[in-house]
Structure 1
Amino acid sequence: MVFQIQPYGLQAMLKEGHRHLSGLEEAVLKNIEACQELSTITRTSLGPNGMNKMVINHLDKLFVTNDAATIVNELEVQHPAAKVLVLAGKAQQEEVGDGANLTISFGGELLHNAGELIRTGLHPSEIVSGYTKGINKTIEILDELVEKGSETMDVRDKDEVVLRMRAAVASKQFGQEDILCPLIADACIQVCPKNPANFIVDNVRVAKLIGGGLHDCCILRGMVLKHDAVGSIKKMEKAKIAVFAGGVDTSATETKGTVLIQSAEQLENYAKTEEAKVEELIRAVANSGAKVIVSGGAVGDMALHFCERYKLMVLKISSKFELRRFCRTTGAVALLKLTQPSPDELGYADSVSVEEIGGVRATIVKNEEGGNSVSTVVLRASTDSILDDLERAVDDGVNSYKAMCRDSRIVPGAAATEIELARKLKEFSFQETGLDQYAIAKFAESFEMVPKTLAENAGLNAIEIVSSLYAEHASGNNKVGINLEEGVCKDASLMKVWDLYVTKYFALKYATDAASTVLRVDQIIMAKPAGGPRRDQPAGMDED
């Protein structure tokens, strides 16, 4: 006879197969450990000398990058506490478009220091309270560090734009920023609307073409389509453009019908009427003044034959997102059916031509006149992974432009801001009474992570660099940062290394919020995973 012991406590309340972790050792410190692991991965990629990571995702796609947002996106982090840090990094990427690495690394450092405080006997709520005071004081000090006169800027002044963009691009492509920044700045300035606050990141497109090198990169007003024209006509100047979203072909009827043909003559006439109908439609388009037809679907052989006869160039764009951008570039209206377009529905381009670039035939739609709202940065490099990394650098540059359109204030870069914040917060912690002061002191210490990491990634002696930075800042030179090339401390304004205020502000804010969220958790209760066979992830979607 077997006695069944009845479950009691939490086991009786929850389903079988659940997991429950509680207390400092099991929940809080384990959470801190998981977040530390994540920040250790991203930390070595911080700054211009950051190392690359090779990530292979669940679809076997290879990423070689030092962009923290891409790394944590593709890692598929499972641990619930580490996911909070990942979300903070994603929020930073969406808000500012740069600084995700700082968010994750700084959040990890805050939690590492909190772990030390917990082991010395502080309660997590005291640490959270100290960290909250710390971030409020940090924002006050950050406002004082803003460079005088940077509140106002002309977003169409290329030199000012490049100055603010350099740090973001250099962190992804160190040594190439002098080539890339002017290109990105030009592209952004071309599509900047009258009110810069309405700048749309999607209007700066990137076309990646294998072959050539970085010096072959250029910028075009208009679009680059990475495929050939359909017919034999490959070039059109000063062309009006008709866009048909539904395809250029004879349309099938909605209902099924039966045609009874009794003689060969009737059969011949039947084929001729179809031919005549298609010719009539194409002639109507040609008579409207259009020289280029853009199809969103299939292009029928018969329709193509008549397009050739009426000297119409035919392009096919199967992606509806790309078709929308094309309409935005040329000012055309996409029509559903093949009908004669009215003059208002026609678009215009200075030239539409097919060119061969590095063995790839690409259709280039140029619009040199004003009024176009899309510009394209053509990137050239030898491999796909280099092109992807260049694209990420361009994205960061464009996002920085959007951020500076909203708030153009800048603070010294090259870890000068972080050391100054650490120094001022240390002084602030001595004025506090109570247990909060230990948390504020650790918060200040966390800022040392940035100069330490930058120095370590560049192969310099971190302790020497940090102590000489403190010495410089104590004597009143609060713009002194690290010159990574020479391995010495130097004025950031002379090196022209500036960071955007908004990037720092949101990165530190999100990191502190994430750390506080993790520290407030004292129990983890996981239900049993849902049963049934595990479904494979769907294949990667189009990035649009």
Structure 2
Amino acid sequence: MTQMTGQPVIVLSENSRRTLGRDAQRMNIMAGRIVAEAVRTTLGPKGMDKMLVDSLGDIVITNDGATLLGEMDIQHPAAKMLVEVSKAQEDEVGDGTTTAVIIAGELLKKAEDLLDQNIHPTVIVQGYRKANDIAQEFLASAGEDVSPDDTEILEKVAMTAMTGKSAERARENLAKLAVKAVTLVADEVNGSLSVDLDNIKIEKKSGGSIDDSELIMGLLIDKERVHPGMPQTVSDAKIALVDVAIEVKETETDAEIRITDPNQLQAFLSQEEGMLRDMTDKVKASGAKVLFCQKGIDDMAQHFLAKEGIFAVRRVKKSDMEKLSRATGASIISNLDDLDMESLGNAGSVEERKISGDSMVFVTDCKSPKAVSLLVRGGTDHVVDEVKRALDDAIGGVSATIETGKVVAGGGAIEIEISKIVRKAAEKVSGREQLAINAFADALEIVPRTLAENAGLDPIDKMTELRAAHDKKDHESYGLDVFLGKVIDMQKEGVIEPLKIKTQAIKSASEAAEMIIRIDDVISAKELGKGGAPAMPPEMGGMPGMM
């Protein structure tokens, strides 16, 4: 509402809220910083776990940044932008979500200090963009080349990703499984390797220990054979994949069949039986010993298939059918008339086994499978869930390494080196932008500082040691060993990470911070794009309520 010649002019409805100027900037920055602080203590090998409890009392215990932010009930719009940073990092790389969020939070904190010095938000954004460009330019030429055959380095990448998680004690075994799985499903596209992580299926089963986790050279289907009379194990299996129901089709329009004689009923039933027998004969004639059907299999057809000694599974998910096709080389058939020897796939063994009381079908010993399964075991459901999250990070890190072919030192080494490069470049920039570029350099140091804090070390002493080490020649890979509490060569220690984690984390953190800094007015709106009630949470009126 505003006053013009004594007459009030109402623009927004009385229920609308509006925060503008420095209040809006402070509120948004505070919201972003609170999100970063929430996950900051989980960073590194000595990071702590968080317990999330929902309204029903279900719990999740994890230190995985993407899981934490995805599960937290966050309402503040600026805070949600940092959740998007973690989601982008998870989707693009699969690891490094906590790093991306805490860098974004520190960039906002440094920006607030500059705003208090009356430096305009646009100047800060320009400085951050220049600093980001400098950092990306340096990263483009940084790192050590890695080939997909360099299993030792890939395993070190996987182990680095899992360090600090519940699965750490079994990380050597899990790292081997992750590397083997990724290298098996990697495809060559236009001269470079590409990894579709959908081709690695992870199945969780509680019971046993983490060491019992295994890689299936083929696929694991959470189903059971449709008839107890079917063989439990089929060796040297010829596999048919069909996405058509092995049932008598219903008419597409409403129809009525009038039967006036018992013989007519018997003829009708015989006709149905004949149709089902014809379908199973086509499966048998193709030479298939195993049948995976995406749709249903009639009870009578199950009986016929069992008599022929054919192992059959029904209602297999479409995604599993596609993976089976890649693993066994079989073609997915939509018409049983097209089923022949050439459309079949091969597997060394197809077997139904019981795992933790549940029957599962193992399709194993496939030659050069392009889709594989990982069976994750652990004492309880919570342990299994956390092992799966650790494996997801390891697989994401290994696939990012294979795709980009570059790795960098961990332990905060690369962040300190980038900070040094950016700070040096700032000397050539005049005016207030130089302050923003220096602030960007300072913000990157939040990673090694947080590693030191989470390990109970003195962050000031360790940051001084790190800077001194990086001022020396050929010390670019020196980082903080949180177990020894010393600054050592991370490359030699085997603490290495994919270059892609760092490029994506710094880029997305910088872009999110720039966007939040530029906001100087927060106005409640109707449901955007749809019309309706105001969508802004009531917390926007004061301090950012979030969780």
TM-score (norm 1): 0.89
For the pair 1:184 / 2:178, whether they are aligned, the reply is yes
For the pair 1:298 / 2:296, whether they are aligned, the reply is yes
Find the residue that maps to 1:351 and give its secondary structure: strand
**5 Å matches for 1:79-98?**
79-98=76-95
User: Are the equivalent residues in 2 in contact too, given 1:284–1:340 (CA < 8 A)?
Assistant: no
For the pair 1:222 / 2:218, whether they are aligned, the reply is yes
User: Are the equivalent residues in 1 in contact too, given 2:296–2:315 (CA < 8 A)?
Assistant: no
Which of 407, 432, 436 is 1:435 aligned to?
Answer: 432
Task: Give, as a single letter, the amino acid of the residue that structure 1 aligns with 2:38.
Answer: I
Stretch moving more, 295-304 or 54-63:
54-63
Q: How much has 1:510 moved relative to structure 2? A: 1.2
Find the residue that maps to 1:13 and give its secondary structure: coil
Cα deviation, 1:68-115, whole Å, max 9, x if unaligned, reads 112212224322222222222222222222212111110100101111
Q: How much has 1:175 moved relative to structure 2? A: 4.1
Find the residue that maps to 2:18 and give its secondary structure: strand
User: Are the equivalent residues in 2 in contact too, given 1:288–1:340 (CA < 8 A)?
Assistant: no
User: Are the equivalent residues in 1 in contact too, given 2:401–2:499 (CA < 8 A)?
Assistant: no
Q: CA separation of 1:272/1:467 partners in 2, compared to 1, >3 Å: closer, same or farther?
A: same
Q: Which residue of 2 aligns with 1:407?
A: 404
Alpha-carbon separation, structure 2, partners of 1:95 and 1:499: 15
Stretch moving more, 37-46 or 85-94:
85-94
Q: How much has 1:356 moved relative to structure 2? A: 2.1
Alpha-carbon separation, structure 1, partners of 2:359 and 2:408: 45
Q: CA separation of 1:533/1:429 partners in 2, compared to 1, >3 Å: closer, same or farther?
A: closer
Cα deviation, 1:453-484, whole Å, max 9, x if unaligned, reads 11121222222222222232234433221111
Q: Which residue of 1 aligns with 2:538?
A: none
Stretch moving more, 219-228 or 328-337:
328-337
Q: Which residue of 1 aligns with 2:540?
A: none
Q: CA separation of 1:97/1:58 partners in 2, compared to 1, >3 Å: closer, same or farther?
A: farther
Alpha-carbon separation, structure 2, partners of 1:272 and 1:142: 73
Task: Give, as a single letter, the amino acid of the residue that structure 2 aligns with 1:193.
Answer: D
Task: Give, as a single letter, the amino acid of the residue that structure 2 aligns with 1:509.
Answer: K
Task: Give, as a single letter, the amino acid of the residue that structure 2 aligns with 1:34.
Answer: A
Q: How much has 1:204 moved relative to structure 2? A: 1.5
User: Are the equivalent residues in 1 in contact too, given 2:526–2:533 (CA < 8 A)?
Assistant: no
Task: Give, as a single letter, the amino acid of the residue that structure 1 aligns with 2:345.
Answer: G
User: Are the equivalent residues in 1 in contact too, given 2:202–2:375 (CA < 8 A)?
Assistant: yes
Q: Which residue of 2 aligns with 1:246?
A: 244
Alpha-carbon separation, structure 1, partners of 2:265 and 2:447: 80
Q: Which residue of 1 aligns with 2:455?
A: 458
User: Are the equivalent residues in 1 in contact too, given 2:398–2:498 (CA < 8 A)?
Assistant: no
Which of 155, 158, 161 is 1:165 aligned to?
Answer: 158
For the pair 1:393 / 2:387, whether they are aligned, the reply is no
Q: How much has 1:235 moved relative to structure 2? A: 1.3
Q: Which residue of 1 aligns with 2:483?
A: 485
Q: How much has 1:338 moved relative to structure 2? A: 5.2
Alpha-carbon separation, structure 2, partners of 1:85 and 1:7: 43
Q: CA separation of 1:260/1:159 partners in 2, compared to 1, >3 Å: closer, same or farther?
A: same
Q: How much has 1:186 moved relative to structure 2? A: 1.0
Task: Give, as a single letter, the amino acid of the residue that structure 2 aligns with 1:166.
Answer: M
Cα deviation, 1:15-66, whole Å, max 9, x if unaligned, reads 4422221111x21111100000010011111122222222245786532221
Q: How much has 1:354 moved relative to structure 2? A: 0.7
Alpha-carbon separation, structure 2, partners of 1:155 and 1:33: 43
Q: Which residue of 1 aligns with 2:330?
A: 332
Find the residue that maps to 1:197 and give its secondary structure: strand
Alpha-carbon separation, structure 1, partners of 2:93 and 2:63: 18
Q: Between the two proteins, what is the percent identity of the paired residues?
A: 31
**5 Å matches for 1:136-215?**
136-143=133-140, 146-147=142-143, 150-151=144-145, 153-170=146-163, 172=165, 173-195=167-189, 196-215=192-211
Which of 504, 514, 517 is 1:516 aligned to?
Answer: 514
Find the residue that maps to 1:46 and give its secondary structure: coil
Which of 317, 320, 323 is 2:321 aligned to?
Answer: 323
Alpha-carbon separation, structure 2, partners of 1:32 and 1:194: 44
Q: How much has 1:8 moved relative to structure 2? A: 4.0
Alpha-carbon separation, structure 1, partners of 2:202 and 2:17: 47
Q: Report how many aligned residue pairs link the two structures.
A: 522
Alpha-carbon separation, structure 1, partners of 2:380 and 2:132: 43
Find the residue that maps to 1:364 and give its secondary structure: strand
Q: How much has 1:192 moved relative to structure 2? A: 2.3
Q: CA separation of 1:290/1:122 partners in 2, compared to 1, >3 Å: closer, same or farther?
A: same
Cα deviation, 1:321-372, whole Å, max 9, x if unaligned, reads 22222233223333345556233333332211011233332110124323x3
Find the residue that maps to 1:275 and give its secondary structure: helix
Q: How much has 1:213 moved relative to structure 2? A: 0.9
For the pair 1:48 / 2:45, whether they are aligned, the reply is yes
Find the residue that maps to 1:55 and give its secondary structure: strand
User: Are the equivalent residues in 2 in contact too, given 1:27–1:521 (CA < 8 A)?
Assistant: yes
User: Are the equivalent residues in 2 in contact too, given 1:19–1:528 (CA < 8 A)?
Assistant: no
Q: Which residue of 2 aligns with 1:278?
A: 276
Q: Which residue of 1 aligns with 2:233?
A: 235
Task: Give, as a single letter, the amino acid of the residue that structure 2 aligns with 1:246.
Answer: V
Alpha-carbon separation, structure 2, partners of 1:269 and 1:421: 82
Return 5+ residue gaps in structure 1 as ranges.
535-544
Q: Which residue of 2 aligns with 1:374?
A: 371
User: Are the equivalent residues in 2 in contact too, given 1:183–1:218 (CA < 8 A)?
Assistant: yes
Q: Which residue of 1 aligns with 2:341?
A: 343
**5 Å matches for 1:101-140?**
101-140=98-137
Task: Give, as a single letter, the amino acid of the residue that structure 2 aligns with 1:203.
Answer: N
User: Are the equivalent residues in 2 in contact too, given 1:23–1:523 (CA < 8 A)?
Assistant: yes
Task: Give, as a single letter, the amino acid of the residue that structure 2 aligns with 1:285.
Answer: V
Alpha-carbon separation, structure 2, partners of 1:478 and 1:269: 84
Task: Give, as a single letter, the amino acid of the residue that structure 2 aligns with 1:439.
Answer: A
Cα deviation, 1:275-330, whole Å, max 9, x if unaligned, reads 23322321232122111222222322111111111111111234222222223322
Alpha-carbon separation, structure 1, partners of 2:281 and 2:139: 66
Cα deviation, 1:167-218, whole Å, max 9, x if unaligned, reads 2232544443322111111111222234552322111221212111121111
Task: Give, as a single letter, the amino acid of the residue that structure 1 aligns with 2:149.
Answer: R
User: Are the equivalent residues in 2 in contact too, given 1:422–1:445 (CA < 8 A)?
Assistant: yes
Q: CA separation of 1:132/1:468 partners in 2, compared to 1, >3 Å: closer, same or farther?
A: same
For the pair 1:31 / 2:24, whether they are aligned, the reply is no
Alpha-carbon separation, structure 1, partners of 2:278 and 2:503: 62
Q: How much has 1:406 moved relative to structure 2? A: 2.7
Find the residue that maps to 1:270 and give its secondary structure: helix
Q: How much has 1:224 moved relative to structure 2? A: 0.6
Find the residue that maps to 1:239 and give its secondary structure: strand
User: Are the equivalent residues in 1 in contact too, given 2:526–2:534 (CA < 8 A)?
Assistant: no
Task: Give, as a single letter, the amino acid of the residue that structure 2 aligns with 1:247.
Answer: A
Q: After the TM superposition, which parts of structure 1 deviate over 6 Å for at least 4 consecutive aligned residues?
A: none
User: Are the equivalent residues in 2 in contact too, given 1:283–1:310 (CA < 8 A)?
Assistant: no
Q: CA separation of 1:332/1:428 partners in 2, compared to 1, >3 Å: closer, same or farther?
A: closer
Alpha-carbon separation, structure 1, partners of 2:356 and 2:109: 49
Alpha-carbon separation, structure 1, partners of 2:282 and 2:456: 69
Q: How much has 1:136 moved relative to structure 2? A: 2.4
Find the residue that maps to 2:218 and give its secondary structure: strand
Q: CA separation of 1:123/1:262 partners in 2, compared to 1, >3 Å: closer, same or farther?
A: closer
For the pair 1:425 / 2:418, whether they are aligned, the reply is no
Q: CA separation of 1:471/1:180 partners in 2, compared to 1, >3 Å: closer, same or farther?
A: same
